[in-house]
């Protein structure tokens, strides 16, 4: 009888008591599922909030805000412990993040998304399996202070940062902005052979400016603070 009662009590225990499976959470895209909030919110806010947001919105002590800013420089932060902070500082940061309202969280977090439809440079729809050299994508962006926006094209060798265009202009404005922008399926401004090569296009918000006039400017993953979903294309002409 006792064993049966214990089994019933365990079965009735709330699912929320279980530790969330963070590996199954997509923390790159806001909004997250409720079960993923403990995995995603502290890390994302710690990596993108400005000094002013740490102090004015999260109500962090100014000295702690400065320590967080310094601890994240030049690093790709995937969990809070990647920040070289004391346990006391990490606990204080996590507690402040957990007290944010959904509106405050949305105001702090940057986001960039791409629509699945792709066009050519004349705005004619493109078949993803038969794309031209220059394609035009559209989407929306919300960037916070100090971030820069770029389209990126990945081929077999690297992730190439595309020349700044309408996305960069839209990201510099306040609020959520719509944009359309062009990118090259191949080396910038040099038409490669039509070999049926596959490419991946996505957008990023990064914490440093890239020199997109350089033909070999590659994306540094440590600079990425938000990224869109990917669009897969095959160039045939």
Q: Where are the domains of the chain?
A: 27-108, 111-234
Q: Assess contact for 115 and 78: CB atoms under 8 A.
A: no
Instruction: Tell me the fold of 111-234.
Output: Immunoglobulin-like (2.60.40)
pLDDT tens sequence across 52-81: 889 988 899 999 999 999 988 877 787 888
For the chain, the average pLDDT equals: 81
pLDDT tens sequence across 116-131: 899 999 999 999 999 9
Residue 6 has pLDDT above 50, yes or no: no
Q: What is the pLDDT of residue 17?
A: 39
Across the range 26-55, mean pLDDT stands at 78
Closest to 112 measured CA to CA, from 66, 153, 148: 148
Q: What is the pLDDT of residue 194?
A: 63
Tokens of 172: 């510099």
Question: What crossing angle do the helices spanning 37-48 and 62-72 adopt, rounded to 10°?
Answer: 90
CA 199 – CA 185 distance, rounded (Å):
7
When comparing pLDDT for 126 and 195, which is higher?
126
CA 148 – CA 202 distance, rounded (Å):
14
Q: Is the dihedral of CA 57, 60, 63, 69 positive or negative?
A: negative
When comparing pLDDT for 2 and 27, which is higher?
27
Q: What is the pLDDT of residue 1?
A: 42
Q: What is the pLDDT of residue 14?
A: 40
pLDDT tens sequence across 89-109: 999 988 888 888 888 887 788
pLDDT tens sequence across 143-179: 776 789 999 999 887 898 998 889 999 988 877 889 9
31: cis peptide before it, omega within 30°?
yes
Tokens of 83: 């920040």
CA 137 – CA 118 distance, rounded (Å):
5
CA 170 – CA 222 distance, rounded (Å):
23
Residue 114 has pLDDT above 90, yes or no: yes
């Amino acid at each position: 009888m006792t064993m049966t009662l214990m089994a019933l009590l365990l079965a009735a225990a709330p699912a929320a008591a279980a530790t969330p499976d963070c590996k199954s959470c997509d923390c790159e895209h806001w909004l997250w599922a409720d079960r993923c909030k403990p995995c995603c919110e502290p890390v994302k806010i710690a990596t993108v909030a400005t000094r002013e947001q740490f102090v004015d919105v999260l109500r962090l002590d100014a000295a702690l805000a400065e320590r967080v800013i310094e601890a994240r420089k030049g690093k790709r932060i995937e969990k809070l412990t990647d920040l070289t902070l004391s346990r006391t500082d990490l606990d204080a940061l996590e507690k402040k993040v957990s007290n944010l309202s959904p509106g405050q969280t949305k105001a702090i977090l940057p986001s960039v998304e791409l629509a699945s439809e792709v066009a050519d440079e004349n705005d004619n729809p493109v078949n993803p399996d038969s794309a031209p050299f220059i394609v035009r994508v559209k989407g929306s962006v919300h960037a916070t202070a100090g971030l820069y926006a770029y389209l990126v094209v990945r081929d077999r060798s690297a992730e190439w940062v595309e020349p700044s265009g309408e996305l960069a202009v839209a990201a510099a404005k306040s609020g959520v902005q719509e944009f359309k922008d062009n990118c090259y399926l191949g080396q910038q401004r040099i038409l490669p052979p039509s070999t049926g090569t596959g490419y991946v296009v996505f957008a990023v918000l990064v914490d440093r400016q890239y020199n997109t006039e350089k033909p070999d400017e590659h994306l540094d993953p440590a600079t990425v603070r938000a990224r869109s979903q990917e669009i897969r294309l095959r160039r045939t002409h």
